[in-house]
C-alpha cells in the first residue's frame, strides 16, 4: 500500500513526512488526523515555535531510535517533544541523562511538570556523584537540587561495616582476601559484604567514608610491611563498584583518614625510612584530597609527629588527639585556614587508640579498661564514663545513631548515650580478618535483600 505523506511547513521550509509515522509517535498529530475536521484531510501542516533542525532530529529518532541530548540543545528538543506530545522522546530522555545535560533536564522537568524526568535526573546524578562534583553542572544546580541528589545516596539504612587487613598467624606466605562485613544491630549478626580488590593491600591503609563512598589509600603493599603502597581506591556503595583515584602526595601508613564536606584528610602516620637509623619515621604532614578538583594539596603539619592519631568529626569540625611528653592534647582543624588549634588537654593520659562522637560529645577509647573520657565540644567540659566491660582488645569504635560501638574480632560492645545502657555480650566480634577499621555506610533495602539471599545460600 502506498504511503500517505504530509508536508510539515516550518520556517518557510517544507519537510515531507510519512503520515503514519506522525500518528504512531505523536498524540498531537494522532488527534489532528483523526478529528474529522478540516485539518485531518489537509496535505500540509504549519508548525509554529519549532525549528527545522529539531524536527529533523525527532523524525530521525523515530526511524533509527538514536537521539542525543547535548547540553546546548536539550531544552529545545524536549520542549518541542512536549508540545507535540511525543511520549517516546520523553521516555528516551529519562534514559539519556548525563552529568553534562542534567541542568537542562531539571529545567525542562520543572517548566513542564515532568516528575519522572526529574526523578531520573536525580537518580543518575546520585549514582555518578563524584563525576558531578568535578563538573561545571554542580554549580548550576540549586541548593535544593544538590541536597536532593545527596539525599538519594542515603536512601537506605545506616549500617556498620568492617574492613580488615591480614591475619599473620594464619596467612604467613600470601595475602588472603579481605572480606568486608556488615552488622545487623537488631539481630547481632555479621554478614559478608564484598571483597577488597586483590590488587590493593589494606595493611595500615587509611579508610574514610564520605557521601556513601568508601575511600581507601596508602599503607603497605602487603602484610610484610616492607614497601609503601602508592595507590588509592574508592568503593561506591550504590553501584558496588571499585574505582581508582589519585594517590597521596606523600606515601604514608598508620595514619588518620577522615572526610568532611567535599574533602578527605590524611593526617600523620609513618613511612619507611632506610636511611634514618630505623625502619620507619613518624610523620607530622597533613594533606587534603578535594573531591571537586580530584587532587591532593598539603596543609599545615601537625604540631608533632604522630603514628596512628585518633580522629573524629563532631559538630562539623575535625578533632584529633596528639601525644606529647607532658600528656595527650586535643586539637581541632580550622578548615578556613588549614591550621591546627589546641582545644584542651586529655584528662588522664590514656594512650587513646580510637575516638568517635555522638551529637556534641567526643568519646575517647583506650588506656584504662574501667572507663573512658568524654569531651563536650559545646561546653568544653570533660567527663568520665565508667563501665565494667570485658577487657578485650578493641580495634576501632564508631557511632551509629545514639550508640557508640567498640569493635574487634573478639567482641562488639555498645553504649547508648540516650538510655545510658551498655550492651557488652549480645553481639559477637566481627569475623573480618586482622586489624580492622569500622565505618558506617548506607545500604539500600535492595542490596540488603540481595545479601540475605546470598547468605542463606
- Per residue in 313-344, pLDDT tens? 999 999 999 988 888 899 999 988 889 999 99
pTM over 0.85: yes
Distance (Å, rounded) from C-alpha 437 to C-alpha 364? 16
Mean pLDDT calculated for residue range 286-306? 96
**How is residue 309 written as a grid cell?**
592519631
Residues 6+ apart with CB under 8 A from 134: 291, 292, 293, 294
277 φ/ψ angles, rounded to the nearest 5 degrees: 85, -5
For residue 229, CA distances in Å to 149, 216, 244, 410 come to 34, 11, 13, 29
Distance (Å, rounded) from C-alpha 241 to C-alpha 246? 17
pLDDT of the residue at 350: 59
The b-or-e profile of 268-294 (16+ CB within 10 A means b, else e) is bbbbbeeeeeeebebbbbbbbbebeee
Question: What is the 8-class DSSP label of residue 79?
Answer: H
Residue pLDDT, tens place only, 128-178: 999 999 999 999 999 999 999 999 999 999 999 999 886 555 544 455 668
Residue pLDDT, tens place only, 23-57: 999 999 999 888 766 666 778 888 999 999 999 99
Average pLDDT, the chain: 88
Structural domains in the chain, CATH included, are 5-152 (3.30.710.10), 157-456 (2.120.10.80)
Q: Is 303 exposed, middle or buried (0-12, 13-18, 19+ CB in 10 A)?
A: middle
3-state secondary structure of 101: coil
pLDDT of the residue at 167: 54
79 φ/ψ angles, rounded to the nearest 5 degrees: -60, -40
More confident residue, 178 or 108: 108
Residues facing 46 on adjacent strands: 9
Distance (Å, rounded) from C-alpha 67 to C-alpha 273? 57
Question: What is the 8-class DSSP label of residue 176?
Answer: P
Distance (Å, rounded) from C-alpha 364 to C-alpha 55? 66
List, as one string, the DSSP characters of 117-167: HHHHHHHHHHHTHHHHHTSTHHHHS-HHHHHHHHHHTT-SEEEEEEE----
Residues facing 64 on adjacent strands: none
Question: Quick check: 101 pLDDT over 90?
Answer: yes
Mean pLDDT calculated for residue range 374-380? 96
Amino acid at each position: 500500500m502506498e504511503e500517505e505523506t504530509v508536508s510539515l511547513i516550518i520556517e518557510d521550509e517544507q519537510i515531507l513526512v510519512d503520515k503514519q509515522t506522525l500518528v504512531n509517535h505523536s498524540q498531537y498529530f494522532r488527534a489532528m488526523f483523526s478529528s474529522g475536521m478540516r485539518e485531518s484531510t489537509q496535505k500540509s501542516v504549519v508548525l509554529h515555535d519549532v525549528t527545522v533542525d529539531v524536527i529533523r532530529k525527532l523524525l530521525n529518532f523515530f526511524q533509527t531510535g538514536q537521539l542525543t541530548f547535548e547540553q546546548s540543545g536539550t531544552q529545545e528538543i524536549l520542549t518541542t517533544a512536549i508540545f507535540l506530545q511525543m511520549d517516546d522522546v520523553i521516555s528516551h530522555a529519562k534514559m539519556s541523562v548525563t552529568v553534562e545535560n542534567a541542568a537542562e533536564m531539571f529545567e525542562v522537568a520543572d517548566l513542564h511538570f515532568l516528575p519522572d524526568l526529574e526523578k531520573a535526573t536525580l537518580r543518575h546524578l546520585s549514582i555518578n556523584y563524584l563525576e558531578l562534583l568535578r563538573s561545571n553542572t554542580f554549580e548550576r544546580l540549586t541548593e535544593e537540587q544538590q541536597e536532593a541528589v545527596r539525599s538519594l545516596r542515603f536512601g537506605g539504612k545506616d549500617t556498620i561495616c568492617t574492613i580488615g587487613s591480614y591475619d599473620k598467624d594464619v596467612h604467613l606466605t600470601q595475602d588472603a582476601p579481605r572480606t568486608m562485613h556488615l552488622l545487623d544491630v537488631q539481630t547481632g549478626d555479621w554478614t559478608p559484604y564484598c571483597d577488597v580488590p586483590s590488587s590493593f593491600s589494606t595493611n595500615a591503609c587509611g579508610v574514610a567514608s564520605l557521601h556513601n563512598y568508601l575511600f581507601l589509600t596508602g599503607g603497605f603493599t602487603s602484610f610484610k610491611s616492607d614497601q609503601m603502597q602508592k595507590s588509592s581506591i574508592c568503593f561506591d556503595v550504590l553501584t558496588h563498584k571499585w574505582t581508582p583515584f589519585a594517590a597521596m602526595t606523600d606515601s604514608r601508613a598508620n595514619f588518620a583518614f577522615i572526610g568532611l564536606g567535599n574533602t578527605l584528610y590524611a593526617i600523620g602516620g609513618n613511612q619507611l625510612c632506610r636511611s634514618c637509623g630505623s625502619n620507619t619515621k613518624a610523620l607530622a604532614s597533613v594533606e587534603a584530597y578535594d573531591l571537586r578538583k580530584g587532587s591532593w594539596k598539603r596543609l599545615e603539619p601537625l604540631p608533632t609527629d604522630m603514628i596512628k592519631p585518633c580522629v573524629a568529626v563532631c559538630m562539623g569540625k575535625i578533632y584529633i588527639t596528639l601525644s606529647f611528653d607532658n600528656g595527650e592534647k586535643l586539637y581541632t582543624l580550622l578548615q578556613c585556614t588549614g591550621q591546627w588549634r589546641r582545644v584542651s588537654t586529655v584528662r588522664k593520659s590514656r594512650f587513646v587508640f580510637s575516638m568517635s562522637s555522638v551529637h556534641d560529645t567526643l568519646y575517647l577509647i583506650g588506656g584504662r579498661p574501667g572507663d573512658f573520657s568524654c569531651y563536650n565540644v559545646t561546653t568544653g567540659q570533660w567527663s568520665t564514663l565508667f563501665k565494667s566491660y570485658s577487657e578485650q582488645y578493641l580495634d576501632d569504635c564508631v557511632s551509629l545513631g545514639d550508640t557508640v560501638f567498640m569493635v574487634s574480632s573478639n567482641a562488639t560492645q555498645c553504649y547508648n548515650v540516650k538510655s545510658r545502657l551498655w550492651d557488652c555480650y549480645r553481639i559477637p566480634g566481627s569475623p573480618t580478618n586482622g586489624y580492622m577499621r569500622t565505618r558506617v555506610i548506607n545500604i539500600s533495602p535492595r542490596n540488603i535483600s540481595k545479601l540475605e539471599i546470598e547468605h542463606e545460600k
